[in-house]
Copies of this chain bind each other. A is one copy, B any other.
């Protein structure tokens, strides 16, 4: 049915040389090993004519390198953002001729172990262990035996593995600055966490902690105190709605910093319920740049999670790990922070006089 693949032996036969010679030429070591111009040309020509492509499985067996990396995440499907992360990784990998295996653990450690095994059984050259929201994770043992990178995650225990995470602290600063720049000084409420350093949802979300740090830092520098902070058990629209409603029963805020766009969606609904207009009455900044941010009306100004860039960066870092000499003791668990750009839209204005 399918015509047999062209092998190196076929090329060698057509070119009238041994497979060894063909291999040498095609791997670019012909010059170095004194293969004549003539033979080199013949091999190249034969390979081109037959459209020869080396069988990577065979190469993998011989050399141990499969031009393949494993991407294991806790969830693929939950957010559209996860897709961007994979996409970034995918493209960066493809640019180097690598393919991606993907696997999803759903947070199940046993499944994670199985996937790791399955990937090692297939001789992947490296592994990206990704979390779909930024947090600290327990690094499965045996991870350090092959090149690996944590993506959107930090190791719970000290680990030699490098991590790639969004720069949430800077994001917090940027969000706060957006309000300050618009002239806000008072009535700034935090929706989703705060106002104190410790007022964060349970679950070890790095985003909550770090965004809060950045926000508090910039506000403090400007001599501004947040008028209030409102923790949500989970950053979902319904909690954003509930928490903002409670707030509005007591106060008229001038600006909201919502800890993510879903929370902001709920906040919008609450503001609408109370007859308040965004941004005329209340400015809103948020985080994530979820697709709904640009569907909301008015469109939401938000600090974007750079998922695509995170994915790319993880691959870059993984390649330096792979390239690292196997002998030297490996890295120091370096943390790479990827900038989070703000997307200025329509939800921030100067405070009403």
Chain A residues engaging chain B, CB cutoff 8 angstroms: 1-3, 5, 53-58, 60-61, 66, 68, 76-80, 82-84, 86-87, 90-91, 94, 97, 99-104, 115, 117-123, 145-146, 237, 262, 265, 269, 292, 295, 297, 308, 326-327
Whether the pair A101, B99 counts as a contact (CB closer than 8 A) is yes
Shortest Cβ distance from A29 into chain B, in angstroms? 21
Q: How far is the CA of A115 from the CA of B90 in the complex (A)?
A: 11
Q: How far is the CA of A327 from the CA of B1 in the complex (A)?
A: 7
What's the number of copies of this chain in the assembled complex? 2
> Residues of B contacting A308 with CB < 8 Å?
77
Whether the pair A90, B104 counts as a contact (CB closer than 8 A) is yes
> Residues of B contacting A82 with CB < 8 Å?
83
Shortest Cβ distance from A322 into chain B, in angstroms? 13
Q: Which interface residue of A99, A100, A297 has the most chain B CB atoms within 10 A?
A: A99
> Residues of B contacting A297 with CB < 8 Å?
269
Whether the pair B102, A56 counts as a contact (CB closer than 8 A) is no
Whether the pair B103, A66 counts as a contact (CB closer than 8 A) is no
> Residues of B contacting A146 with CB < 8 Å?
2
Whether the pair A102, B103 counts as a contact (CB closer than 8 A) is no
Whether the pair A104, B87 counts as a contact (CB closer than 8 A) is yes
In the complex with contacts A99-B103, A100-B102, A102-B100, A122-B56 CB distance below 8 A: yes
Question: Which residue in B83, B102, B262 is a CB contact (below 8 Å) of A77?
Answer: B83
Question: Which residue in B76, B84, B145 is a CB contact (below 8 Å) of A86?
Answer: B76
> Residues of B contacting A78 with CB < 8 Å?
80, 83
Whether the pair B80, A79 counts as a contact (CB closer than 8 A) is yes
Question: Which residue in B80, B97, B326 is a CB contact (below 8 Å) of A1?
Answer: B326
Q: How far is the CA of A295 from the CA of B262 in the complex (A)?
A: 9
| Interface pairs (21), CB distance under 8 Å | A1-B326, A2-B146, A5-B120, A54-B121, A57-B60, A57-B66, A57-B122, A76-B83, A76-B86, A76-B87, A77-B84, A83-B83, A90-B102, A91-B104, A99-B101, A99-B119, A99-B122, A100-B101, A101-B101, A269-B297, A292-B295
Q: How far is the CA of A79 from the CA of B94 in the complex (A)?
A: 21
> Residues of B contacting A61 with CB < 8 Å?
55, 57-58, 61
Whether the pair B102, A53 counts as a contact (CB closer than 8 A) is no
5 closest cross-chain pairs (CB), A and B: A77-B83, A2-B145, A80-B80, A77-B87, A57-B60
Q: How far is the CA of A80 from the CA of B94 in the complex (A)?
A: 22
Q: How far is the CA of A123 from the CA of B97 in the complex (A)?
A: 15
Q: How far is the CA of A238 from the CA of B145 in the complex (A)?
A: 51
> Residues of B contacting A76 with CB < 8 Å?
83, 86-87, 90
Shortest Cβ distance from A329 into chain B, in angstroms? 9
Q: How far is the CA of A60 from the CA of B120 in the complex (A)?
A: 14
Q: How far is the CA of A326 from the CA of B3 in the complex (A)?
A: 12
